[in-house]
Amino acid sequence: MTNQALRAALIEALKSVAPESDPASLGDKERVRDALDLDSMDFLNFIIAIHRDLHVEIPEGDYSKMQTLGGAVEYLQTKLPTA
Amino acid sequence: MADFRMPSLGADMDAGTLIEWKVAVGDTVKRGDVVALVETQKGLVEVEIWDAGVIEALIVPPGTKVPVGTVLARLHDGASPVASAPAPVEPAGPAAPASTAVAAAPALLPEEAPTRVLASPAARQRARELGVDLASVKGTGPRGAITIDDVDKSSKPIEPAPEPAPRAEPAPGAGMRQAIAATMARSKREIPHYYLSLDCDVTPAMTWLESENKSRTVTERVLFAALLLKATALAAREVPEMNGFFVDGQFRPSNAVHVGVAISLRQGGLVAPAIHDTETLSLIAIMARLRDLVGRARAGTLRSSEMSDPTLTVTNLGDQGGLTSVFGVIYPPQVALVGFGAPTARPWAQGDLLGVRTVLTATLSADHRVSDGHRGAVFLAALARLLGEPEKL
C-alpha cells in the first residue's frame, strides 16, 4: 500500500469516528487528538477502525506512534504485509 | 387503563416535542419498550414505557410540543374489554399484529359517547390544529369514526392553519445551552455545595490495566475511565449519602447505583446519561455500555431511562490537556458529582522516599443538605482505596 493510500485510509477511519471533522486538512506532524478534539474513546475507536479496515492490531504500547498522520503512516507501513 | 405521559428527562426539562410514535393503536407493549421519539432541548430521546398492555389511543399527534406530565397515550391492560369497544380487546400477548390498529379503533373512543361526532382524540387534536370542523368530515373508520387521515383530507388548502409569526433562527446549540444554564443555575441557587479533593496514586491501576489490555484484542480493550466509573459506584455503595435524590425537602437514597457519565457533544454542550447498576457490572461490561452510550449520545438516540435515572454523576477530564482537577456543579435532584482530572506524572512521597508516580486528582462536589465534609472525605478515601486495588474492581 502506498503512503498516499494509507493516509487516505487513515482519514477515512478518522471520519468514521468524528464525522463532522476534516481530517484531510491535517498536516503530517499535527497531533491528531488535539487537532480533531478526540477523547480517549474516540482514539480507541480510531484504532478499532484501523483494525477493521486494514487488519492491523496495534498494541496499546504503540499508541504513541499513532499521534500524527505522518507517524501513523510510517508505523503502519512496518505492520502491513509487503506486496 | 394506564396513561403514558410526557416524561421528565432531567431537571432542565419543562416540555418536549413528540416527534414520532414507534407504536400504533392496538400494539402490545411491555415494560421498557421504546414507544415514542421525543425532542428535548438536549436532543432526541427514545422514550420507553413502564406499563404493559395494549395501546388504546395515541392522544398527542407527532409534531406537538407538550408540557411534562401531559398524557400522550392511553394504554389498556389487555385483560378486559374496553368500555365502548364492540368486541373484546385481544389479551396482551407477544405477537399482536400491527393490523389490530384498525380493529381496535373503536377503543379510541371510550369518552366520546355523548358527542354526535365520532372521532379519536388524535383526530380531534388534528382538527383543532387545522381549523377543521369535525361535523363536516366524513369518517371512514369503524362505525364511521373520523380518523386523522379523514381530518387531513378534509383540511382545505385555501384555509391553511395559521402560521406562527416568523422568528429569528436560533443559534446552533442554543437550546442545549439554555437547558444547561437553567439546570446549573438552579443547582447553584438551591444546592449548598461543598467541595473536596484528594490526590490518588493510580500507578498500580494504570500498570494493572496496561497488563490486562495486552491480553485483549483491540475491540476488547478497557479504558481507564471504566475503572473510575466502577470505583465511584462501589464508593457510593459504601457512602450512600452521595447516591440518590433530594426531593420534596428530603434526601431519598437510591437502592441502585446508576452512575451518570458526562459526555461532551461535538456540536457543543453535554449530556450525562446513566449506566444502570454500575456497581454490579464487570469492567468489560462497563466499557461496552460506555462505548454504546457515547455513540448514541452523539447520534442523538439516548433512551429516556438513561436520561432520567442517574443517581450521581461523574465528569472525567480524560487524559488530554493536563488539567488536573475539576470541581463540578451537581445535577439536581442528585446530591453529588465526582470529578476526575487527567492522570499526570507528579512527585509523590511514599514513606521516606520521594518518587514520580501517576497521580489523579479526584474531587467531590456534594450537597450540604445531605452530607458533611467528613462523609465526603470518607467517600473520597474509599474511592482512592478502590482505585488502589484494581484487580478487585
pLDDT band for B80, please (50, 70, 90 cuts).
low
As given in the structure block, the three cell numbers for residue B348 are 509523590
Give the pLDDT score at B91. 35
Give the pLDDT score at B156. 57
Q: Which one of B213, B267, B318 has the shortest CB-CB distance to A40?
A: B318
Q: Which of residues 250-289 of B touch A (CB under 8 A)?
A: 264, 266-267
A20 part of contact set with chain B, CB < 8 Å: yes
A3-56 residue pLDDT tens: 999 999 999 999 999 888 899 999 999 999 989 989 999 999 999 999 999 999
Q: How many CB atoms lie within 10 A of CB B266?
A: 13
Distance separating alpha carbons of residues B254 and B47, to the nearest angstrom: 22
Give the pLDDT score at B147. 66
Half-sphere exposure of B320 (CA within 13 A, CB side): 14
As given in the structure block, the three cell numbers for residue B367 are 450537597
Give the pLDDT score at B88. 37
Q: Do B214 and A59 touch (CB under 8 A)?
A: yes
On the question of pLDDT at B159 being above 80, the answer is no
* Average pLDDT estimate for B245-271: 93
Give the pLDDT score at B325. 93
Half-sphere exposure of A24 (CA within 13 A, CB side): 6
Residues of chain A neighbouring B225 (CB-CB closer than 8 A): 40-41
* Average pLDDT estimate for B253-271: 92
Residues of chain A neighbouring B217 (CB-CB closer than 8 A): 57
Mean of per-residue pLDDT scores for chain B: 84
B224 part of contact set with chain A, CB < 8 Å: yes
Q: Do B266 and A51 touch (CB under 8 A)?
A: no
Q: What is the DSSP letter of B146?
A: B
Of A6-20, B49-63, B110-124, the poorest mean pLDDT is in: B110-124
Q: Which of residues 38-57 of A touch B (CB under 8 A)?
A: 39-41, 44-45, 47-48, 51, 57
pLDDT band for B111, please (50, 70, 90 cuts).
very low
On the question of pLDDT at B160 being above 80, the answer is no
What are the beta bridge partners of residue B364?
Answer: B196, B338
Give the pLDDT score at B9. 84
Q: What architecture does CATH give domain B193-392?
A: 2-Layer Sandwich (3.30)
Give the pLDDT score at B85. 41
Nearest to B336 by CA among B376, B305, B386, B374: B376
Domain B2-111 - what CATH class? Answer: mainly beta
* Average pLDDT estimate for B41-69: 90
Please, which residues have CB within 8 angstroms of residue B153's CB and are 6 or more apart in sequence?
A: none
The share of chain B scoring above pLDDT 70, in percent, equals 80
Q: List phi, psi (to 5°) of B98.
A: -60, -25
Measure in Å the smallest separation between the Cα of B392 and chain A Cα atoms: 22
Give the pLDDT score at B143. 54
Distance separating alpha carbons of residues B35 and B22, to the nearest angstrom: 5
On whether the CB atoms of residues B2 and B74 are closer than 8 A, the answer is yes
Q: If you measure CA to CA, which chain B residue comes closest to A32?
A: B320
* Average pLDDT estimate for B198-218: 95
Give the pLDDT score at A20. 85
The CATH number covering residue A7 comes to 1.10.1200.10
Domain count, chain A: 1
Q: Do A47 and B218 touch (CB under 8 A)?
A: yes
On whether the CB atoms of residues B285 and B277 are closer than 8 A, the answer is no
Of B100-114, B127-141, B306-320, the poorest mean pLDDT is in: B100-114
* Average pLDDT estimate for B89-101: 37
Three-state DSSP state, B167: coil
B318-356 residue pLDDT tens: 877 778 999 999 999 999 999 999 999 999 998 899 999
Give the pLDDT score at B102. 31
Half-sphere exposure of B49 (CA within 13 A, CB side): 27
Evaluate whether ipTM surpasses 0.90: no
Distance separating alpha carbons of residues A47 and B296, to the nearest angstrom: 19
Structural domain of A17: 3-79
* Average pLDDT estimate for B58-64: 92
Nearest to B309 by CA among B9, B6, B4: B9
Measure in Å the smallest separation between the Cα of B369 and chain A Cα atoms: 35
Distance separating alpha carbons of residues B101 and B72, to the nearest angstrom: 17
* Average pLDDT estimate for B120-136: 68
Instruction: Report domain extents, chain B.
Output: 2-111, 193-392
pLDDT band for B170, please (50, 70, 90 cuts).
low
Q: Do A40 and B223 touch (CB under 8 A)?
A: yes
For the ranges B153-167, B168-182, B351-365, the maximum mean pLDDT occurs at B351-365
Cis peptide before B157 (omega within 30 of 0): no
Q: Do B214 and A60 touch (CB under 8 A)?
A: yes
Q: Do A40 and B224 touch (CB under 8 A)?
A: yes
Q: What is the DSSP code string of B18-81? A: EEEESS-TT-EE-TT-EEEEEEETTEEEEEE--S-EEEEEE-SPTTEEEETT-EEEEEE-SSS-
